[in-house]
Structure 1
Amino acid sequence: MTGYEGLFRLDGRRAVVIGAGSGIGRESALALSAHGASVVCADRDLPAAEGTAERCGGTARLLDVLDPGAVRACAEEAPADVLVFTAATNVRKRLLDYSGEEFARVVELNLRASFDVVRAFGAGMVERGHGSIIGFASIRASVTEPGQGVYSATKAGLVQLLRTAAAEFGPHGVRVNAVAPGVVETPLTRQIKDNPAWYDAYAAKSALGRWAQPQEMAGAVVYLASDAASFVTGSVLYVDGGWTAVDGRFDPPN
């Protein structure tokens, strides 16, 4: 296929999606498969990964990203043309209430594990001379609120990690980008989604006046994975319903 009609096609490419068992990861795997990629669905919940793999005709793999050796083994055994990773955690507490254990837990998954993933899969891409790495940051990388300090810090750190990888891997033909969602109905946000006051307040904050569904992140993933984004690297693509563009929702009278 030649010309613009094939811009978003991923035929002949292998995509590894880490966190494919649910939420944004699952929808990313389904979307990449729909555009022609063969997909490895990796997750620490193997039955969930198997469920996604069955739906997209891919393969499932048990992967705990907190185990650096397992991450390296996955990268060696399933070399990727496209890597998507979504794994993250959050402890919503104000800084003065945070424990050292909670801080370490959030940093370990959101930042240290991301460092291991980018290095492990990036090394193979650099060697082969091509690839696209897509990490999931958050609006919290640039805007925050009380109770989000550590999570925000890790997501800001992830953005800079990915930008640095873009700078270092770019000369070898590897692109590295971040997607920054707003509020999305996923297992990570269940705590606030189940509170009507929180849910309504968050919905009102975006320009579109609602939460996102996980499948609404899939287009950004396909775009960044594909040749449509062949000159896009080191970027943060906000898929936030206008959250970061809107400073409050007060609509003054004419």
Structure 2
Amino acid sequence: MATDLSRLFTVDGRLAVVVGGASGLGRASAAGLAAHGAEVVIADKDLAGAESTATELGARARSLDVGSAEDIARAAEAEAEAEILVVTPGINVRKRLADTTDEEFDRVIDVNLRGTFRLIREFGTRMHERGRGSIIVFSSFRAQFVEPGQGVYAATKAGVAQLARAAAAEFGPGGVRVNAVAPGPFETPLTEQIKDDPEWYSAYADKTALRRWGKPEEIVGTVLYLASDAGSYVTGGLHYVEGGWTAIDGRFEPRL
């Protein structure tokens, strides 16, 4: 039977769990999936924020701390029919390596890398058993391009990209696709420190080809593509959404 191309980007009736969906890029991702027909669960440590977002989107909310193996296992069991998993949580400690404590290192690793690993493992295993599913984890353009003060964060996001590739290889035979999204400078709570510094904020905008920061809703197209049948032959990829930063980073414009 021929594919109905008009419905490639729909996710009607599919259960989508969006971890970190209370705010930022997670909230935008949840809104996009809900708008295209998914049954969405907003899973977040901030339960009040998750409930507020869920009410607005006509979704469900659940408390989930990505630092807790027990929370993740319970969520995966409760939402065992999930066909879409989006993992967005991330924290950053912007310090030079020499100034970063072991405790700060562990905290970033625990949320960004260990939490993502546990979510892939628990949800991916169940998807593999059912023979279908799409997992979308959030890496960062910092997985490739780093600057002073971003070392630990960058290391975790590079690790997330590699976890996605490994999971794509291991779960692929069971019909499960796994991809990583690499956002650039987006207006989210995670970037408040940068936005509060006008020089820093402007420098980041100037590093992109579009000469501006991204808006949260501009992540939706990539998430929907990877979650839906439009991306049915796409797995193991790192998908940049960074306004052209990687195309021009470090560019010098001579007088011509």
Indicate the TM-score class for this superposition, using the shorter chain for normalisation: over 0.9
C-alpha RMSD over aligned residues:
1.1
Query: What residue in structure 1 maps to residue 184 of structure 2?
Result: 182
Name the CA distance, whole Å, in 2 between partners of 1:233 and 1:250: 35
Which residue among 164, 171, 174 is the counterpart of 1:172? 174
1:88-114: CA deviation from partner (whole Å, max 9, x where unpaired): 100001111111111111111110111
Q: Which residues in structure 2 correspond to 1:1-254 (within 5 Å)?
A: 3-79=4-80, 80-254=82-256
Q: Deviations over 1:125-169 (max 9, x none)?
A: 001000000000000001101111000000001100110000000
Superposition TM-score, scaled by structure 1 size: 0.98
CA distance in 1, matches of 2:102, 2:249: 33
Task: Classify the secondary structure of the residue corresponding to 1:179.
Answer: strand
Question: Match of 1:6, as an amino acid?
Answer: R
Would you say the 8 A contact 2:20–2:27 is kept in 1? yes
Unaligned stretches of 5+ residues in structure 1 = none
Distance in 2 of aligned mates of 1:213 and 1:251: 27
Task: Measure the CA separation in 2 of the matches of 1:191 and 1:21.
Answer: 20
Q: 1:253 deviation in Å?
A: 2.0
Assess if the C-alpha contact under 8 Å between 2:112 and 2:156 holds in 1. Answer: yes
Secondary structure class of the residue paired with 1:157: helix
Aligned-residue offset at 1:245? 1.1
1:72 counterpart letter in structure 2: A
Q: Which amino acid in the other structure matches residue 53 of structure 1?
A: A
Shift of 1:56: 1.3
SS of 2:203's equivalent in the other structure is helix
Question: Does the 8 Å CA contact 2:208/2:249 hold for their aligned counterparts?
Answer: no
Cα deviation digits, residues 11-55 of structure 1 (max 9, x gap)? 120000000100000010010011100000010011110111112
8 Å CA contact 2:139–2:182 kept in 1: the answer is yes
Residue identity matched to 1:37? A
Superposition TM-score, scaled by structure 2 size = 0.97
d(CA) in 1 for partners of 2:127, 2:254? 52
Q: What code does the residue aligned with 1:68 have?
A: A
Q: What residue identity is the alignment partner of 2:155?
A: A
Deviation of the 1:173 alpha carbon: 0.1
The CA deviation at 1:65 is 1.1
Deviations 1:213-232 (A, max 9, x none): 11111111001000000000
Shift of residue 249, structure 1, vs aligned partner:
4.2
Give CA deviations for 1:41-99 in whole Å, capped at 9, x if unaligned.
01001111011111211100011111101101101111210000101100001111111
Structure 1 contact 91–106 (Cα < 8 Å) conserved: yes
CA contact (8 A) 1:30 1:55 kept: no
Q: Which runs of 5+ in 2 are unaligned?
A: none
